[in-house]
Structure 1
Amino acid sequence: MSDEELEPIEILELPLGDWHRARGARMVEFAGYHMPIQYEGIMAEHLWTRENAGLFDVSHMGQLMLSGEGAADALEKLVPGDISALKEGRMRYSLLLDEDGGILDDLMVTATPMGLYVVVNGAVKWDDIGFLREHLPDEITINHMDDRALLALQGPKAVDALLRVVPGVDALFFMEAGSFFWGPKSDPEPLWISRSGYTGEDGFEISVPASHAKVLADALCAQAEVKPIGLGARDSLRLEAGLPLYGHDMNPEIDPVEGNASFAISKRRREEGGFNGADRILKALAQGPAQKLVGFAVDGKMPVREGAPVYAQDGQVGSITSGGFAPSVGAPIAMGYVASQHTPIGTKLEAEVRGKRVALTVAALPFIPHHYHRRGKAL
């Protein structure tokens, strides 16, 4: 074994690393970074976000800007969404696909005056950047905006708190974004803010220069509605909202139809194809997948965790990909893949946990209603 192989892998610091520690966060390694898992406790932080507003540091995620003539058309070869139809300030959830239609990542794409602003998952951002560089034409520029932090303010009172700090953000609706200025009039800082998030609640994601992230985080946490929230509650919130976590509920072996993400395949793309794995994916749309991601209600109080096999009587028919106690539901919940004949809501199955069988029922997703501030609809 060489000296190089013995060298420990460097764990990176977030721009707000010391800020989290000063506020009592317990830090863990996640996606190559030291990140806050919790402050006062996952249950309390989860419920606070559902009722008030939670501030999450998601600066580990990759912020990319794709620019150059034909960037949208070029990206459409790699994702199944209608990117070229996006108007400035509008965003779309999509999936980065390998040549066979397997999911390499899920991501958000926003049309901006500068190009396509793309946010990818932190755990695979370097793989994503490499894949994009390899498969996009040379004339498309990929700018990794690693000089910016990314904060998510989530919860029913997020708009009230953010509005006091950044006037005008209440004009945004769900999946809309824009440029805002914050700070002293003599030297305002540019923020890129979207009304989006991954908790099922109303909220915002805020791209801020890393050098100013602490001042902005302090300003937000000075609002009575806001507390900092860790990764633990972010995971339980997204699970209740029925939102997949890449690397757990999605991976390159899964296509969008199996991953319960057919909604990300835009109507025009279904008709025209032309994206990676289109033949496989459109066939699965027409004929149905062999397996599919579903939600599970769990009987009793024992959580069912990732990796637990799922049975129909004595035969294994799937496995759990995410699971845990759901504070807002008041019971354990899970998501996982099962063979298509076992996907109807209400189907009775079992998971094996520590040698014991736990009863499951296939449940509708999401487990709690989404509260997005959609255009034309009340909160």
Structure 2
Amino acid sequence: MSENTASPKHLPLEALHEEAGARFGAFAGWRMPLTYPAGVMKEHLHTRASAGLFDISHMQLFEVQGPDAARFLSHACPLDAAGLGEGRSKYTVLLNDEAGIIDDLIVTRLGAERFMVVANAGNAATDEAHFRAIAEDFNVSFEPLERVLLALQGPDAEAVLIAAGLDLSDLVFMSGTEPKDGWFAARSGYTGEDGFEVALPVDEAERFARKLIADERVEWIGLAARDSLRLEAGLCLHGQDLDQTTDPASAAILWAIPKAVREGGGFVGAQALGAILAKGANQKRVGLKPEGRQPVRAGALLVNEAGEAVGRVTSGGFGPSVGHPVAMGYVDKQLSEPGTRLFTEVRGNRIALDVHSLPFTPQRYHKG
């Protein structure tokens, strides 16, 4: 990774986070709230118990529209965009020619010729360049939108939004709508809990955010707790668990690519992915449960009983909801069964880890 000396980008609601006592840090080129005065443990548990509010305006929304919109997206991603019902969302990936994962995305169909794409902050410029190069061969427009994006997550999320005047109770998990002019909302999230992501114009955002945070059920939640929540839920972070050197088979996200799409090809990276599937992936992403209380962090080398390198940890930390360290990583395929014992070293100490099924906590999505 090359050193980035550019000044960080600032969230439109930065002053609101400063007012709330946020501690900031750099993430994906942005100055982001890491924690608030309650601290990461309480923020995490509050989200699981009630409703946590996350400012994820660093994420990038792209609007895709035109006669070829569905055909364009189905070529750019391993996705049946034409078969996606209006108002439905789909998790997908953007692949390079070698089937490496440029980014993971959520695509929502808003109309016959209109789609919304939500991309990760650190990849937004790369994604846009990749999409625009493909778009040259299609009758389609591809435009980034300037929006504040707020995620409200937890069992009280729906009731809180209704109290704030935004009734999204008709939505089920992985569906989206445009509740007002310039607004986009989806029932989705990155915590394993029921919840919503609401994008709205910058000039309307502070008033809406203040209305939400005034509800006693709601607390601001920073990036640190967002990371522990998604890790317990077994969800990938691009740049750690996914990158351009990993493919969907190794990453254990083939469920995101319908079998008919895999077999039909026609998308960027199809030939390479087909070859990987025919041969079989060498490694697989798995959950890892370290023994004891010491978290094992990303980058740790995994070895077998004989001390031979067999994998690596890509994400790790402490899981407040489960009360023990949690991690994910890649291991040799033959060692990917739950219960397999592996080892790593943390500060000179040998730590045992067991391969663990994902997620660590039950996902509680509202599926209707």
Q: TM-score range by the shorter chain?
A: over 0.9
> Is the partner of 1:171 in helix, strand or coil?
coil
The answer as to whether partners of 2:68 and 2:138 remain within 8 angstroms in 1 is no
1:38-53 to 2 correspondences below 5 Å: 38-39=35-36, 40-53=38-51
- Separation of aligned partners in 2, 1:80 and 1:107: 11
The answer as to whether partners of 1:78 and 1:98 remain within 8 angstroms in 2 is no
- Separation of aligned partners in 1, 2:279 and 2:317: 32
Cα deviation digits, residues 188-235 of structure 1 (max 9, x gap) = x65211100010000000011011111111011111211110000000
The alpha-carbon deviation at position 372 of structure 1 amounts to 0.2
> Is the partner of 1:296 in helix, strand or coil?
strand
TM-score of the two chains, using structure 1 as the length reference:
0.93
- Separation of aligned partners in 2, 1:7 and 1:194: 33
| 5+ residue gaps, structure 1 | 1-5, 182-188
The alpha-carbon deviation at position 286 of structure 1 amounts to 4.4
> Is the partner of 1:77 in helix, strand or coil?
helix
Match for residue 145 of structure 1? 145
The alpha-carbon deviation at position 283 of structure 1 amounts to 3.6
The answer as to whether partners of 1:305 and 1:324 remain within 8 angstroms in 2 is yes
1:64-75 to 2 correspondences below 5 Å: 64-75=62-73
Higher mean C-alpha deviation, range 115-124 or range 345-354: 345-354
Match for residue 331 of structure 1? 324
1:8-19 to 2 correspondences below 5 Å: 8-19=5-16
| 5+ residue gaps, structure 2 | none
Higher mean C-alpha deviation, range 48-57 or range 218-227: 218-227
Does residue 321 (structure 1) correspond to residue 319 (structure 2)? The answer is no
- Separation of aligned partners in 2, 1:7 and 1:201: 34
- Separation of aligned partners in 1, 2:45 and 2:51: 10
Match for residue 120 of structure 1? 119
1:188-227 to 2 correspondences below 5 Å: 190-227=182-219
Match for residue 134 of structure 1? 133
Residue identity matched to 2:94? L
- Separation of aligned partners in 2, 1:115 and 1:7: 35
- Separation of aligned partners in 2, 1:249 and 1:339: 15
Cα deviation digits, residues 48-93 of structure 1 (max 9, x gap) = 0000000000000110001111111122122112222111110000
- Separation of aligned partners in 1, 2:65 and 2:74: 14
Match for residue 262 of structure 1? 254
The alpha-carbon deviation at position 166 of structure 1 amounts to 3.0
The answer as to whether partners of 2:73 and 2:79 remain within 8 angstroms in 1 is no
The answer as to whether partners of 2:72 and 2:138 remain within 8 angstroms in 1 is no
The answer as to whether partners of 2:338 and 2:354 remain within 8 angstroms in 1 is yes
The alpha-carbon deviation at position 34 of structure 1 amounts to 1.0
Seen in structure 2, the aligned counterparts of structure 1 residues 213 and 338 have a Cα distance that, compared at 3 Å, is same
From 65, 88, 91, the equivalent of 1:90 is 88
The alpha-carbon deviation at position 271 of structure 1 amounts to 2.5
- Separation of aligned partners in 1, 2:119 and 2:22: 25
TM-score of the two chains, using structure 2 as the length reference:
0.95
Match for residue 179 of structure 1? 178
Query: Which consecutive aligned stretches of 4+ in structure 1 deviate over 6 angstroms post-superposition?
Result: none
Match for residue 340 of structure 1? 333
CA RMSD, Structure 1 to Structure 2 (Å): 1.6
Residue identity matched to 2:315? S
The answer as to whether partners of 2:161 and 2:167 remain within 8 angstroms in 1 is no
Cα deviation digits, residues 167-194 of structure 1 (max 9, x gap) = 431111101111214xxxxxxx652111
Does residue 297 (structure 1) correspond to residue 294 (structure 2)? The answer is no
- Separation of aligned partners in 2, 1:245 and 1:153: 19
The answer as to whether partners of 2:148 and 2:201 remain within 8 angstroms in 1 is yes
- Separation of aligned partners in 2, 1:193 and 1:94: 18
Match for residue 63 of structure 1? 61
> Is the partner of 2:208 in helix, strand or coil?
helix
Residue identity matched to 2:335? H
Residue identity matched to 1:362? V
- Separation of aligned partners in 2, 1:45 and 1:7: 30
- Separation of aligned partners in 2, 1:282 and 1:163: 46
Residue identity matched to 1:299? E
The alpha-carbon deviation at position 138 of structure 1 amounts to 5.4
Residue identity matched to 1:359? A
- Separation of aligned partners in 1, 2:325 and 2:243: 24
- Separation of aligned partners in 2, 1:277 and 1:129: 17
The answer as to whether partners of 2:23 and 2:35 remain within 8 angstroms in 1 is yes
